[in-house]
Amino acid sequence: MHRDAGVGHVGGNLSALDAMMLVHHEMLGASDRFVLSKGHAAGALYVTLWSRGLIAEADLATFHADGTRLPGHPPARGLPGIRFGTGSLGHGLPLAGGLALAARLQGRDGRVFCLTSDGEWQEGSTFEALIFCAHQRLANLTILIDYNRLQGFGTTEEVASLDPIGRVLAGFDVEIREADGHDLAAMRRALTPGTDRPVVVVLHTVKGHGVPALEGRLDSHYLPLTEDQVREAMLGVTGSPPTRESA
């Protein structure tokens, strides 16, 4: 998808893909909700929805094209499982908090999952939302942080450090858990329901995970894939070079 569209953000898609797949395939029931706050990982979300049969494979071929249903950031309407247009960072957690509070006020069961980026925690609106969610004791809310430590202009430590982020956020009266964001068993344990407070799960991830030429590289945040990178990635997964059909 990203190769054919000629667009970037593939590094942050790959760091979040394992968590998105696990949540959608094993955690989300009919009464649960998912909010992708780091909207630049829309490609990973579209593939996840496709893997559940909610998006047609023909749609994936139109990713980021003119007139597509699958733009570079999730649209506000028109796709199953996507309730908000996101991508301007700092908006997803306030929306997820609203969903969680609405469910409680309406007496509805179900959990709300919100996936944020690590750089997004430099946004004031994210902290304001956390204060609200903790004050309301939204125990039906689980916040995931894709902690790959790289953002658009450098490492999160260089740009505006919140390290260790789990210790920083623990002061907001939320339950902090940490897990390897590429270890499914570890994430399953970390994503069990909480008690009487929101749960924040710090997922230690690798930007560009699964593609050695991209792993841990800042340029994977913005730059599109080269043909060599696509070839290396496909060789690692399938043992054969890519074709337009296989890629």
Mean pLDDT for 150-159 is 90
Neighbours of 186 (CB within 10 A): 16
Contacts of 234 (CB under 8 A, 6+ apart): 240, 241, 242, 246, 247
Per-residue H/E/C for 44-76: HHHHHHHHCCCCCHHHHCCCCCCCCCCCCCCCC
Q: Would you list the domain boundaries of the chain? A: 2-238
- Residue 63 φ then ψ, to 5°: -50, 125
Question: pTM here?
Answer: 0.93
Confidence at residue 121, expressed as pLDDT on a 0 to 100 scale:
96
Given 3.40.50.170, 1.20.1250.20, 3.40.50.970, 3.40.1830.10, which CATH number is that of 2-238? 3.40.50.970
Output the average pLDDT for the chain: 93
- Residues 17-51 have pLDDT tens digits of 999 999 999 999 999 999 999 999 999 999 999 99
If pLDDT is split at 50, 70 and 90, which confidence band does 244 have?
very low
Q: Is the pLDDT at 194 greater than 50, yes or no?
A: yes
